[in-house]
Amino acid sequence: MLLLTCSSENQKGRGGGWIVIATGWGLAVAMAVYAVGTISGAHLNPAVTIGLAAVGKFAPDKVAGYIAAQIAGAMFGAVLVWLAYLPHWKETPDTGSKLAVFCTGPAIRSAPSNLICEIIGAAILVFGALAIPSSANLSGPGWATGFGPLIVGLLVFAIGLSLGGPTGYAINPARDFGPRLAHALLPIAGKGKSDWCYAWIPILGPIVGGFLGAWAYRLLYA
């Protein structure tokens, strides 16, 4: 969400392109995992939380509270972006570009295809997030927490480069729903609609994908 500000007019990052977006997003995820990994287990994504709970790696009674916190955090991040780009909203006539700062939208609107794309991306994310810090890959003391977050960030980067183009790769229900809700509520100059007709896809797709990715990991390695 923060990196789609490449579409905001009259600012120095305009036109940075997909490589810039995917790189920044991957690094942002890595930094977030480093920041809260020892506090929450780096649960930044409801798809990860639900997937882990489904395979017995997270307490089911904590899922709702974690998801609420994830959505609140995503909304707070959206508010910060709104404030950071405050003079730019009025200078940007395209309502679609403004919405893209906050949430995803497909390049070609096709609900089945868009849903499948989000399922695949989230499944790869959760599968990789489980595999990367496992003892089979990072077995030395401190390696999983010291080096793992950076590799997870590279995984998000790779998903963005290879699978992100069709839908803008939400791969995280909170990351899409929270900022979309912020877009609907904030007094953004000249904003358009928040495209709620599409909003169910970046919510359902990642949840299904996270569930499938977690179970694939368990069946293959657990």
3-state secondary structure of 188: coil
217-to-52, 125, 170, 221 alpha-carbon distances in Å: 10, 11, 21, 6
The pLDDT tens digits for 148-167 are 899 999 999 999 999 999 99
Q: Domain residue spans in the chain?
A: 2-221
With contact defined as beta carbons under 8 Å apart, do 78 and 164 qualify?
A: no
Q: Which CATH architecture has domain 2-221?
A: Up-down Bundle (1.20)
What confidence score (pLDDT) does residue 6 get?
52
52-to-5, 60, 108, 161 alpha-carbon distances in Å: 32, 9, 31, 25
Q: Which two tokens stand for residue 163?
A: 């699978």
Mean pLDDT (whole number) for 44-67: 95
The pLDDT tens digits for 80-127 are 999 999 999 998 899 998 999 999 999 999 999 999 999 999 999 999
The percentage of residues in the chain with a pLDDT greater than 90, rounded to a whole number, is: 77
What confidence score (pLDDT) does residue 10 get?
67
